[in-house]
Amino acid sequence: SAVISQKPSRDICQRGTSLTIQCQVDSQVTMMFWYRQQPGQSLTLIATANQGSEATYESGFVIDKFPISRPNLTFSTLTVSNMSPEDSSIYLCSVARGSSYEQYFGPGTRLTVT
Amino acid sequence: QKEVEQDPGPLSVPEGAIVSLNCTYSNSAFQYFMWYRQYSRKGPELLMYTYSSGNKEDGRFTAQVDKSSKYISLFIRDSQPSDSATYLCAMIPGGSYIPTFGRGTSLIVHP
């Protein structure tokens, strides 16, 4: 497993602003992912954060709205840009090692946009 | 039709009961099947992971996969109030590493 921390744990933001969420892992991992979890909905993958290259986005998510950085093997950030109330959700970071299919999740960031 | 269907519940049981949680799916390419437990205001925690059909047991938890019926189950024996959480199933097709999650089933075990 891995110990994963996220900052901030929660935030309330104004419409039109941006928020950057940080994800830190206690050891090097191959893969890092960002998910969104809306109330009553399943986890939705936003993108895979690739170390040293651009993130790989899933259908329906674009880099301009959700820019991602991954400067090294233990850290990644997700920015939610130009926020609207529809972006209110829990944002989760997860990691996987090597070719493992097992993902380990951080505690999440609870975002409310007013 | 969603790829993975899971009844959101809530499912309420008395302490000590055997709990059965289920997911159905439509994509026959799914090869890897997982169950996650998520406590309120926490991230999901991997509970069980199985490959293809069959059973896997870990303590009070048993995961069962029936690929012919496209149906997976998680059984919890001697359920405890500490088992109260949301249980999410997840599935990955062969050749991929991206899971598709169910919506989760809320379980309440009352003393």
**Lookup: tokens for B91:** 């599935």
| Contact across the interface for B103 and A42, Cβ inside 8 Å | yes
**Residues A73-100, mean pLDDT to the nearest whole number:** 93
What is the pLDDT, as a whole number, of residue A99? 66
Residue B65: name the closest of B94, B82, B90 by CA: B90
CA distance A40 to chain B (A): 7
Residue B95 Rama label (left phi>0; alpha psi -120 to 50; beta): left
**Lookup: tokens for A53:** 């290259």
**Residues B82-103, mean pLDDT to the nearest whole number:** 93
What is the pLDDT, as a whole number, of residue B54? 86
| pLDDT tier, A101 (very low <50, low <70, confident <90, very high otherwise) | confident
Chain B residues 13-72 with CB within 8 Å of chain A: 32, 34, 36, 41-46, 49
Q: Lowest-pLDDT range, A25-39, A56-70, A91-105, B2-16? A: A91-105
Report the distance separating Cα B13 and Cα B27, nearest Å. Answer: 31
Bridge-partner residues for B48, per DSSP? Answer: B35
Which DSSP string do the residues of A28-89 spell out, in sequence order? --SEEEEEEE-TTS--EEEEEEPTTS--EEPTT--TTTS-EEEEETTEEEEEE-S--GGG-E
CA distance A13 to chain B (A): 19
Decide if B87 contacts B36 (C-beta within 8 A).
Answer: yes
| pLDDT tier, B97 (very low <50, low <70, confident <90, very high otherwise) | confident
What is the pLDDT, as a whole number, of residue B34? 95
Which of A1, A45, A105 is closest, CB to CB, to B44?
A105
| Contact across the interface for B46 and A104, Cβ inside 8 Å | yes
Which of A45, A101, A108 is closest, CB to CB, to B43?
A108
The 10s digit of each residue's pLDDT in B43-61 is: 999 999 898 888 999 999 9
| pLDDT tier, A53 (very low <50, low <70, confident <90, very high otherwise) | confident
Report the distance separating Cα A69 and Cα A79, nearest Å. Answer: 9
| Contact across the interface for B98 and A45, Cβ inside 8 Å | yes
What is the pLDDT, as a whole number, of residue A57? 96
Report the distance separating Cα B15 and Cα A6, nearest Å. Answer: 34
Chain B residues in contact with A103 (beta carbon < 8 A): 46, 99
Average model confidence (pLDDT) across chain B: 94
A8 has pLDDT over 70: yes
What is the pLDDT, as a whole number, of residue B1? 65
B95 has pLDDT over 80: yes
A53 or A6: whose pLDDT is higher? A6
- A/B interface, count of CB pairs below 8 Å: 50
**Residues B81-107, mean pLDDT to the nearest whole number:** 94
What is the pLDDT, as a whole number, of residue A41? 85
| Contact across the interface for B99 and A107, Cβ inside 8 Å | no
